[in-house]
């Protein structure tokens, strides 16, 4: 019942016209990625997700995964769809060519990530988890382990997972109890139970490579005693041959609100052979490699679900006849006008649109940062990009996933009662969307990460660099006649953000609860400021292109309209967010816990 068309045109605009990726810095990932290659990847990615992934989205939700005699089965059609993904060589798209990857830009990988999730979130998670695992192995494992695991994971022949959460600990990983006992051969015996393991087991690949956080016997308590291990479900010999079960089993499948087609497993490790990656007790650092990657991926999930929910709501709004336009009949030959004529329906659709296109620009820019941070020849530039990316990742993860839920909910609302019925698919989008503000660090954790860690990194140099980037931009464009109104609104938002930052510095030190109580509002204020920055940037570029006659005039004019909508209908929230930041902890913490 639902359909999906990948936003190839918008990505082409962002990549080639707006961010002009590959033209500003001398990055190896763009050596092979000419404009033509990029366009071909976008178009092929669109085809795969539209034609292979999406048709299985509703049936996958309905059927879900099953566990029978220890074996997890994915919904009908998933195996074949995944095989097409493998055959197309998509798994290693952005990975290191030394291990069989194709070394394409991360920015392009994120674009494809959006398409996969829009088309079929549950299916997309299987290769998504593999990507996170391969990044961690690539960054932290020794050469031998890399050679043994990466090639088969980068083809998609094997998949990967992240095993962090245990029944007694999610956010507070310091409490974890999974044990690692060192064997005489230098490997470890891993024993413990992990929960909420996405793509924990399935029938798509011949082996599943678990990355597992565990505590080596005798290690310090808390976060400082955690190490990271590769634990394959089936043993892997030194020559890479797959053997029997390695003491890894599925305890049960979780019954969830959504993403039913992804197997969320309780995993039991029973003296399973594990291989340390990174140093002993330094597992958290290695885990964060995977986490940062994953958080960016999750941010794009928020965007992705908004996109597909919006597309279907738009189709419905143009087809459903109900009532008449307030300004007179628009289709007098029909019994009623399509609901697209009603301003409140438009308001919901424009709100989604302004979120989606702004978030896509913001998100893709973070992909650019990721590429610069890994590949720029100038170490200083790499470092700057690493820091800036670290600063914006919590903002992207939290804002894009919260708004993903809101957008899916607005899209559902467009359908009226039909949105509440399973058949139309709108309610699945909302159910699926609701996981993203939770996993890979709840959005509350993202906000604390932003104000408690990222703001202060390098003695505040990065946040100052961000403010400077915006100040320079405002300075450059403030006399741009067409954009000056929105530049002024951006400047106002920047002023609010700077004032809020000052408030946090002054009040968060004296009472850390002030920082904790304001973090959520501060993060959202920053998100809106960044959205405003990208919107006015796109608007200016669209005006330039219209003047020079480049591009599709109607597409560019719609960008300008949507920017105006953003500044008039969404950006005003910065006014109230600043007040909320400065409300602080007082009335948040005043009630006795037992009085709630």
- Show which residues are catalytic: 440
240 is an interface residue for a second copy by CB under 8 A: no
The 3-state secondary structure of 463-479 reads: HHHHHHHHHHHHHHHCC
484 is an interface residue for a second copy by CB under 8 A: no
Q: Report yes or no: 90 and 124 within 8 Å, Cβ to Cβ.
A: no
- DSSP states of 491-539 as a string? HHHHHHHHHHHHHHHHHHHH-HHHHHHHHHHHHHHHHHHHHHHHHHHHH
For a second copy, which residue of 59, 318, 457, 476 counts as binding (CB under 8 A)?
Answer: 318
255 is an interface residue for a second copy by CB under 8 A: yes
Pick the stretch among 67-75, 79-87, 148-156, 251-259 that binds a second copy (CB under 8 A). Answer: 251-259
Rounded alpha-carbon distances, angstroms, from residue 491 to 473, 474, 498: 10, 7, 10
For residue 222, the minimal CB distance to a second copy (Å) is 10
62: part of which helix (H) or strand (E)? helix 57-63
Instruction: Tell which positions 442-481 bind a second copy, by CB under 8 A.
Output: 442-444, 447-448
279 is an interface residue for a second copy by CB under 8 A: no
For residue 253, the minimal CB distance to a second copy (Å) is 11
Pick the stretch among 120-128, 287-295, 388-396, 425-433 that binds a second copy (CB under 8 A). Answer: 425-433
531 φ, ψ (degrees, to nearest 5): -60, -40
Q: Report yes or no: 230 and 141 within 8 Å, Cβ to Cβ.
A: yes
Binding mask 515-554 for a second copy (x = CB under 8 A): xxx-xx---------------------------------x
Pairing of strands 66-68, 179-182: unpaired
Instruction: Tell which positions 151-210 bind a second copy, by CB under 8 A.
Output: 165, 168-172, 174-175, 195-196
For residue 569, the minimal CB distance to a second copy (Å) is 5
Query: How many binding residues for a second copy (CB under 8 A)?
Result: 100
Look-up of token digits 């190490």: 227
Look-up of token digits 């015996």: 189
For a second copy, which residue of 20, 76, 347, 453 counts as binding (CB under 8 A)?
Answer: 347
- HSE of 448 in the Cβ direction (CA atoms, 13 Å)? 10
Pick the stretch among 47-55, 440-448, 473-481, 541-549 that binds a second copy (CB under 8 A). Answer: 440-448
Instruction: Tell which positions 558-577 bind a second copy, by CB under 8 A.
Output: 558, 561-562, 564-565, 568-569, 572-577
Report the residue number, 189 or 520, with the smaller CB distance to a second copy.
520
488 is an interface residue for a second copy by CB under 8 A: no
- Rounded-to-integer distance, Cα 54 and Cα 339, Å: 26
For residue 453, the minimal CB distance to a second copy (Å) is 13
Report the residue number, 116 or 514, with the smaller CB distance to a second copy.
514
Report the residue number, 241 or 590, with the smaller CB distance to a second copy.
590
For a second copy, which residue of 40, 217, 421, 509 counts as binding (CB under 8 A)?
Answer: 421
Burial 104-122 (b: 16+ CB within 10 A, else e): bbbbbbbbbbbbbbbbbbb
C-alpha 525, offset from chain centre: 19
Q: Report yes or no: 500 and 525 within 8 Å, Cβ to Cβ.
A: yes
Q: Report yes or no: 516 and 504 within 8 Å, Cβ to Cβ.
A: no
For residue 178, the minimal CB distance to a second copy (Å) is 15
3 is an interface residue for a second copy by CB under 8 A: no
Instruction: Tell which positions 67-106 bind a second copy, by CB under 8 A.
Output: none
For a second copy, which residue of 8, 145, 219, 321 counts as binding (CB under 8 A)?
Answer: 321
512 is an interface residue for a second copy by CB under 8 A: yes
Contacts of 366 (CB under 8 A, 6+ apart): 110, 296, 299, 389, 392, 393, 396
430 is an interface residue for a second copy by CB under 8 A: yes
For residue 464, the minimal CB distance to a second copy (Å) is 25
């Amino acid at each position: 019942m639902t359909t999906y068309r990948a936003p190839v045109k918008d990505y082409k605009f962002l990549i080639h016209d707006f961010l002009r990726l590959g033209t500003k810095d001398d990055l190896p990932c763009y050596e092979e990625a000419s404009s033509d290659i990029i366009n071909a990847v976008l178009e092929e990615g669109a085809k795969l997700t539209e034609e292979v992934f999406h048709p299985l989205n509703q049936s996958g939700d309905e059927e879900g995964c099953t566990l029978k005699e220890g074996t997890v089965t994915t919904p009908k059609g998933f195996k074949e769809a995944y095989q097409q993904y493998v055959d197309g060589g998509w798994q290693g798209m952005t990975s290191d060519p030394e291990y069989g990857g194709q070394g394409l830009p991360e920015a392009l990988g994120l674009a494809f990530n959006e398409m996969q999730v829009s088309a079929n979130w549950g299916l997309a998670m299987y290769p998504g988890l593999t990507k996170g695992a391969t990044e961690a192995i690539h960054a932290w494992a020794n050469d031998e382990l890399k050679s043994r695991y990466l090639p088969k994971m980068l083809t998609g022949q094997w998949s990967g997972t992240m095993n962090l959460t245990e029944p007694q600990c999610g956010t507070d990983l310091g409490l974890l109890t999974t044990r690692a006992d060192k064997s005489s051969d230098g490997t470890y015996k891993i024993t413990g139970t992990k929960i909420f393991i996405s793509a924990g087991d399935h029938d798509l690949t011949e082996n599943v490579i678990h990355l597992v956080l565990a505590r080596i016997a005798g290690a310090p308590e808390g976060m400082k005693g955690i190490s990271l291990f590769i634990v394959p479900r089936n043993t892997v010999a030194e020559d890479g041959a797959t053997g029997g079960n390695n003491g890894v089993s599925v305890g049960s499948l979780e019954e969830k609100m959504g993403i039913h087609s992804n197997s969320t497993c309780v995993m039991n490790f029973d003296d399973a052979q594990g291989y340390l990656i990174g140093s002993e007790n330094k597992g958290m650092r290695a885990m964060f490699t995977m986490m940062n990657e994953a958080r960016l991926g999750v941010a794009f999930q928020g965007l992705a679900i908004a996109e597909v929910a919006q597309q279907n709501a738009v189709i419905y709004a143009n087809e459903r006849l109900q009532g008449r336009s307030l300004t007179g009949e628009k289709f007098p030959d029909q019994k009623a006008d399509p609901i697209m004529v009603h301003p409140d329906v438009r308001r919901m659709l424009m709100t989604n649109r302004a979120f989606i296109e702004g978030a896509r620009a913001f998100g893709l820019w973070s992909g650019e940062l990721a590429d610069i941070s890994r590949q720029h020849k100038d170490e200083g530039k790499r470092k700057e990009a690493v820091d800036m990316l670290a600063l914006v990742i919590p903002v992207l993860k939290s804002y894009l996933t919260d708004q993903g839920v809101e957008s899916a909910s607005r899209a559902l609302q467009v359908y009226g009662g039909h949105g509440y019925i399973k058949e139309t698919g709108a309610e699945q989008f909302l159910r699926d969307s609701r996981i993203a503000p939770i996993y890979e660090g709840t959005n509350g954790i993202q906000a604390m990460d932003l104000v408690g860690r990222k703001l202060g990194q390098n003695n505040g140099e990065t946040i100052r660099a961000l403010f400077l980037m915006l100040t320079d931009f405002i300075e450059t464009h403030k006399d741009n006649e067409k954009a000056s109104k929105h530049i002024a609104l951006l400047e106002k938002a920047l002023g609010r953000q700077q004032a809020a930052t000052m408030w946090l510095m002054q009040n968060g030190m004296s009472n850390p609860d002030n920082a904790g109580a304001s973090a959520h509002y501060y993060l959202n204020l920053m998100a809106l400021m960044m959205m405003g920055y990208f919107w006015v940037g796109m608007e200016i570029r669209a005006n330039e292109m219209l003047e020079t006659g480049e591009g599709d005039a109607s597409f560019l004019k719609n960008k300008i309209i949507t920017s105006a909508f953003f500044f008039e209908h969404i950006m005003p929230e910065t006014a109230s967010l600043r007040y909320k930041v400065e409300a602080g902890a007082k009335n948040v913490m005043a009630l006795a816990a037992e009085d709630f």
